[in-house]
Amino acid sequence: MRRRRPAPRDSLAEPPGDCRQDVCDGKGGLQSEFADDPPNQVPGDCQRFVCEAGDAVVMLDAADVPDDDNDCTDDTCEDGTPTNTVKAMHSACGPGGAEYCHTDGACRPCKQVTDACEDYGQEPHDNQETAQNLGTITDADDDGSFVCATIKGKNDVDWYTFAGDDAFLNYVDPVRSLVQQNGSGGRVCVYLQCNGGGTSINCNGAAPDTAPLGQKGCCSATTVAPKLNCDGLDDSAKVWIRVDTPDNLACVPYQLDYHF
């Protein structure tokens, strides 16, 4: 059996990506030729390699933008420098463009509230009688929604209400969560009244409270998840939600998440 002799080191094929290629010289050896074989490109570095006369040359490429996978930034190349610039406040972002960009580059369901303390919620709903009606919500886990608004000072209170429907084979766990733009200062309370018979509530660690119209409820600075028990098998109930600022802060922007 014949064995092939290893080629000398200086006659080995050129490595890929160096703009050259080795071809047979017709004399049993190899010779180097120019090739359109640039090095691998680096995505998002605003440049690309091209081959010129057998050498790899770096060219600026404004189309090779740095994609940071953030709806709230513009991905561009500025004089060859990868740049991610935060978009204008309240630019559309998120699924279907239904959310809003904030100046920190985050995409959130609620509009950003500035030092002017804008209130993007519905007014007036500052007492239990004029509570904003959120409709009917079943106790299916994916039923529910959120509202965005702002508490403006100690005398401002926001009230909401909805009808909670205990659908067959579902479980009532009325949870209300308060997400505050500035971190703290707000409070959320939930009050319940069963549609039929007596109403029993366990606050699960939240502070017990009573609504102006007499319904029992619970309050917390973050999340309220009372255990509701109505007489009989049907736990359908009327629900009221109150958001206020017991710390008497001048401006408390919030997102209120709720379900039944």
Map out the domains of the chain as residue ranges.
14-60, 73-108, 128-259
In whole angstroms, how far apart are CA 210 and each of 52, 79, 217? Answer: 80, 63, 6
User: pLDDT band at 11, cuts 50/70/90?
Assistant: very low
Mean pLDDT for the stretch of residues 94-109 = 96
Distance between CA atoms of 97 and 89, rounded to whole angstroms? Answer: 14
pLDDT digits (tens, 9 = 90+) for 176-224: 788 877 777 899 999 999 998 899 999 999 999 999 999 999 999 988 9
- For CA atoms 209, 215, 218, 219, the dihedral sign is negative
Strand (E) or helix (H) holding 232:
none
Mean pLDDT of the chain: 87
pLDDT of residue 8 exceeding 50: no
DSSP state, residue 95: G
What pLDDT is stored for residue 175 in this prediction?
66
Residue 133 pairs in a beta bridge with 161
CATH fold for the domain made of 128-259 = Jelly Rolls (2.60.120)
Backbone angles phi, psi at 153, to 5 degrees: 95, 170
What pLDDT is stored for residue 12 in this prediction?
45
- Note the residue count of the chain: 260
Mean pLDDT for the stretch of residues 163-180 = 71
User: pLDDT band at 141, cuts 50/70/90?
Assistant: low
User: pLDDT band at 6, cuts 50/70/90?
Assistant: very low
pLDDT digits (tens, 9 = 90+) for 19-61: 988 889 888 888 888 998 899 999 999 999 999 988 999 999 9
Task: Go through 215-246 and write b for each residue having 16 or more CB atoms within 10 A of its CB, e for each that does not.
Answer: bbbbbbbeebbbebebeeebbbbebbbbbbbe
